[in-house]
């Protein structure tokens, strides 16, 4: 056979083979909306961060689970509130201070101590106004001796701290409005109800290393009085917020659709008798005020007392978890970096928060690879379904940890559930969309990755009730493929589900929010 015929025969065989393969292929399917949305995101990534921002702002994000209420207020609003509170400011430290009195006449003006000026002067002195915004936030921050980024961030809380709690309803409104614009539907806001009474009671009774006896003593000396105060403070703030947003009225604002619950935050940088008294109050509040769904612990983890008493504070959580097993716990742990504390300080915080403190979620978890046996710990977090709340901008600003130094991709690789959150959106001057853009651009995430995280956020919320996704509770990594039987035959997120599905959703606040998220995904993806 000539070479030509040999070639022709081989070519014919290939053609026949290819046509057989082609005819064996199923009919080409049309792309789903989800696939087209994924491609739209890819195009936005290629077009750059501004297009990506425009895309992600509209994407449904589920919950922001790590969000400190006062840290999420923008400085401009604190200044306006300080003016209405008739406060003064110390122009050297930019700290709000009380006036010595008020002038006669209407309207009254604050009379300030020598050297201090009324905050209302800011509106006539634009330099002071600008400086105050910089002091209350990380705007324009440049590190200099005596003012590191870490210190500037945490110190901002004491600078604006004198703004009255009477504005709590306005803060809730501000956060709900910005959350709605981010297409985020659920918040677990960390706040500190007035626990002065509880903390002082702890100090008065004095430290007792027998924690159960100490708890009984606190309760028998009236600690529970603080529960009613916390309930009333939260209820009245919520009422203010709903009125400001015209909720349940024809002109209700989109912010009304943001569901808000609270985590009682315990300040850990105090002597143990004060910390324990706050904790007991926190567990009591979370046991009897339905809007308070759990307890957290705050203040710099690298602080002297936080480091000295870390193990003791986890023992306190251990005891209180046994006394109040239904109270949910998310604990700040591992918000540390090499150099910030000695190497031994990096070895055990996340592990103890989970194994001794019974944390169901970890806030930050930045130093995980410096813990003892980090790979075993990562497997343990995945198997126990402990979610890590990831705060990329906050970690960059406070700890200087970013990019490859951040363990976010490692958590994902090990199947540890993760969700993006803002931490202190006002101090950092960010939004949750900003964090989504940052995560997607830095770690090359796909639309499916982001969708998974949005679903994780609600799956690990402390809302009561069963999950819409029964497999997520057992599989590692968590699967969002099989729907609870009562709703298994519905279009996900349908406006009018069947009677059995409606009954299931009515019994579970968590599943309701999950259903709402699916409905939002449906609407978002229908655009593409
Ligand atoms: Zn935090």
**Which pLDDT belongs to residue 9?**
52
- Domain contains 2: no
Q: Are residues 283 and 382 in the same domain?
A: yes
Domain limit, last residue, from 445, 473, 498: 445
Q: Are residues 216 and 316 in the same domain?
A: yes
- Domain contains 365: yes
Give the span between the Cα atoms of 528 and 345, in whole angstroms.
49
Structural domain span for residue 103: 79-136
Which residues contact residue 312 at a Cβ distance below 8 angstroms, ignoring those fewer than 6 apart? 272
Domain limit, last residue, from 413, 445, 477: 445
pLDDT, tens digit (0-9, with 9 covering 90-100), for 257-268: 999 999 999 999
Q: Which long-range contacts (CB under 8 A, 24 or more apart) does 505-509 make?
A: 507/465, 507/466, 508/463, 508/464, 508/465, 508/466, 508/467, 508/468, 509/259, 509/463, 509/464, 509/465
CA–centroid distance, residue 315 to ligand 1 (Å): 21
Q: What is the dihedral of CA 477, 481, 484, 489, to 10 degrees?
A: 180
CA–centroid distance, residue 220 to ligand 1 (Å): 32
Which pair of structure tokens corresponds to residue 304? 């002297």
**Mean pLDDT calculated for residue range 315-327:** 98
CA–centroid distance, residue 139 to ligand 1 (Å): 19
Which strands, in side-by-side order, build the sheet including 88-90?
95-97, 88-90, 117-118
CA–centroid distance, residue 421 to ligand 1 (Å): 9
Q: Are residues 410 and 274 in the same domain?
A: yes
Beta bridge partners of 267: 298
CATH of the domain at 242: 3.20.20.140
Distance of CA 315 to the CA centre of its chain: 25
**pLDDT tier, 121 (very low <50, low <70, confident <90, very high otherwise):** confident
- Domain contains 8: no
- What one-character-per-residue DSSP string does 465-516 give? S--S-GGGGTSSSPP--SPPGGGTTSPTT-SS--HHHHHHHHH-HHHHHHHH
- The position carrying tokens 């009591």 is 284
Q: Are residues 376 and 471 in the same domain?
A: no
**Which pLDDT belongs to residue 10?**
52
- Domain contains 387: yes
- What one-character-per-residue DSSP string does 140-193 give? T---BTTB-HHHHHHHHHHHHTTS-GGGHHHHHHHHHHHHHHTTEEEEEEEE--
**Mean pLDDT calculated for residue range 131-141:** 93
CA–centroid distance, residue 113 to ligand 1 (Å): 34
**Mean pLDDT calculated for residue range 307-330:** 98
Q: Which contiguous run of DSSP H or E holds residue 11?
A: helix 3-24
Q: Round the average pLDDT of the chain to a whole number and report it.
A: 93
CA–centroid distance, residue 64 to ligand 1 (Å): 12
**Which pLDDT belongs to residue 494?**
95
CA–centroid distance, residue 364 to ligand 1 (Å): 8
Give the span between the Cα atoms of 483 and 468, in whole angstroms.
6
Q: Are residues 354 and 476 in the same domain?
A: no
User: How many CB atoms are closer than 10 A to CB 251?
Assistant: 6
DSSP state of 29: P
Q: Are residues 267 and 409 in the same domain?
A: yes
**pLDDT tier, 18 (very low <50, low <70, confident <90, very high otherwise):** very low
pLDDT greater than 90 at residue 425: yes
- Domain contains 91: yes
Q: Which contiguous run of DSSP H or E holds residue 267?
A: strand 259-267
CA–centroid distance, residue 264 to ligand 1 (Å): 12
Could you give the number of structural domains in the chain? 3
- The position carrying tokens 């609600």 is 458
Q: Are residues 116 and 235 in the same domain?
A: no
Would you tell me the crossing angle of helices 211-220 and 196-205 to the nearest 10 degrees?
120
pLDDT, tens digit (0-9, with 9 covering 90-100), for 389-401: 999 999 999 999 9
CB-based burial label for 164 (10 Å; 0-12, 13-18, 19+): exposed
Higher pLDDT, 125 or 332: 332
- Domain contains 269: yes
CA–centroid distance, residue 66 to ligand 1 (Å): 6
**Which pLDDT belongs to residue 22?**
46
pLDDT, tens digit (0-9, with 9 covering 90-100), for 64-120: 999 999 999 999 999 999 999 999 999 999 999 999 999 988 888 999 999 999 999
**Which pLDDT belongs to residue 377?**
98
**Which pLDDT belongs to residue 25?**
59
CA–centroid distance, residue 429 to ligand 1 (Å): 15
Q: Are residues 117 and 239 in the same domain?
A: no
CA–centroid distance, residue 501 to ligand 1 (Å): 36
Q: Are residues 96 and 228 in the same domain?
A: no
Q: By three-state DSSP, how is residue 48 classified?
A: coil
CA–centroid distance, residue 336 to ligand 1 (Å): 12
Give the span between the Cα atoms of 148 and 161, in whole angstroms.
20
Q: Are residues 512 and 493 in the same domain?
A: yes
Please answer whether residues 163 and 86 qualify as being in contact, where contact means their C-beta atoms are separated by less than 8 angstroms: no
CA–centroid distance, residue 278 to ligand 1 (Å): 18
**pLDDT tier, 140 (very low <50, low <70, confident <90, very high otherwise):** confident
**Which pLDDT belongs to residue 2?**
47
Q: Are residues 379 and 420 in the same domain?
A: yes
Percent of the chain with pLDDT over 90: 87
Domain limit, last residue, from 410, 445, 480: 445
- Domain contains 235: yes
DSSP state of 78: H
Length of the chain (residues): 528
Q: Which contiguous run of DSSP H or E holds residue 377?
A: helix 374-383
Please answer whether residues 330 and 294 qualify as being in contact, where contact means their C-beta atoms are separated by less than 8 angstroms: yes
CA–centroid distance, residue 298 to ligand 1 (Å): 7
CA–centroid distance, residue 88 to ligand 1 (Å): 28
- Domain contains 379: yes
Q: Are residues 266 and 396 in the same domain?
A: yes
CA–centroid distance, residue 201 to ligand 1 (Å): 27
DSSP state of 463: -
Extract the runs of DSSP E, i.e. beta strands, from 268-316: 292-298
pLDDT, tens digit (0-9, with 9 covering 90-100), for 434-486: 999 999 999 999 999 999 999 999 999 999 999 999 999 889 999 999 999 99
Which strands, in side-by-side order, build the sheet including 418-420?
62-68, 184-191, 259-267, 292-298, 328-333, 361-364, 387-390, 418-420
**pLDDT tier, 139 (very low <50, low <70, confident <90, very high otherwise):** very high
């Amino acid at each position: 056979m000539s070479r030509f015929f040999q070639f022709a025969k081989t070519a014919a065989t290939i053609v026949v083979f290819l046509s057989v393969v082609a005819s064996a292929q199923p009919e080409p399917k049309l792309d789903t909306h989800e696939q087209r949305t994924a491609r739209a995101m890819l195009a936005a990534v290629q077009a750059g961060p501004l297009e990506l921002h425009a895309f992600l702002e509209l994407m449904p994000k589920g919950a922001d689970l790590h969000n400190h209420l006062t840290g999420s207020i923008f400085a401009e609003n604190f200044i306006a509130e300080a003016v209405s509170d008739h406060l003064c400011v110390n122009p050297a430290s930019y700290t709000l201070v009380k006036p010595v009195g008020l002038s006669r006449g209407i309207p009254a003006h604050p009379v300030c101590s020598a050297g201090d000026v009324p905050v209302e002067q800011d509106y006539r002195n634009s330099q002071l106004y600008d400086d105050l915004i910089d002091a209350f936030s990380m705007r324009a921050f440049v590190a200099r001796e005596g003012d590191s980024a870490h210190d500037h961030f945490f110190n901002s809380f004491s600078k604006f701290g004198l703004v009255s709690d009477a504005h709590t309803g306005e803060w809730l409104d501000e956060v709900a409005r910005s959350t709605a614009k981010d297409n985020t539907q659920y918040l677990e806001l960390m706040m500190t109800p007035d626990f002065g009474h509880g903390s002082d009671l702890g100090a008065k009774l004095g430290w007792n290393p027998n924690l159960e006896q100490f708890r009984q003593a606190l309760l028998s000396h009236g600690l529970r009085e603080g529960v009613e105060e916390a309930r009333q403070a939260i209820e009245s703030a919520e009422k203010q917020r709903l009125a400001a947003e015209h909720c349940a009225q024809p002109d209700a604002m989109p912010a009304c659709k943001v569901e808000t619950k609270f985590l009682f935050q315990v300040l850990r940088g105090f002597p143990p008798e004060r910390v324990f008294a706050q904790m007991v109050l926190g567990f009591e509040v979370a046991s009897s005020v339905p809007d308070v769904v759990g307890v957290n612990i705050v203040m710099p983890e690298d602080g002297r007392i936080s480091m000295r008493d870390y193990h003791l504070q986890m023992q306190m959580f251990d005891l209180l978890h046994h006394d109040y097993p239904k109270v949910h716990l998310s604990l700040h742990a591992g918000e540390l970096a090499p150099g910030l504390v000695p190497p031994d300080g990096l070895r055990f915080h996340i592990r103890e928060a989970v194994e001794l403190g019974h944390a169901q979620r970890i806030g930050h978890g930045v130093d995980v690879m410096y813990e003892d046996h980090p790979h075993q710990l990562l497997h343990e977090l995945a198997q126990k379904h402990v979610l890590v709340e990831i705060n990329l901008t906050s970690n960059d600003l406070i700890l200087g940890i970013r990019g490859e130094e951040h363990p976010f991709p490692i958590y994902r690789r090990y199947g540890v559930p993760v969700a993006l959150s803002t931490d202190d959106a006002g101090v950092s001057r960010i939004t949750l969309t900003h964090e989504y853009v940052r995560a997607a651009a830095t770690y090359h995430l796909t639309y499916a990755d982001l969708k998974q995280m949005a679903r994780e956020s609600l799956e690990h919320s402390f809302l009561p009730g069963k999950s819409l996704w029964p497999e997520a509770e057992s599989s590692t990594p968590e699967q969002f493929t099989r729907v609870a039987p009562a709703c298994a035959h519905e279009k996900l997120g349908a406006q009018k589900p069947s009677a059995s599905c409606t009954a299931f959703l009515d019994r579970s606040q968590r599943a309701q929010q999950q259903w709402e998220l699916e409905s939002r995904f449906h609407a978002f993806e229908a655009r593409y």
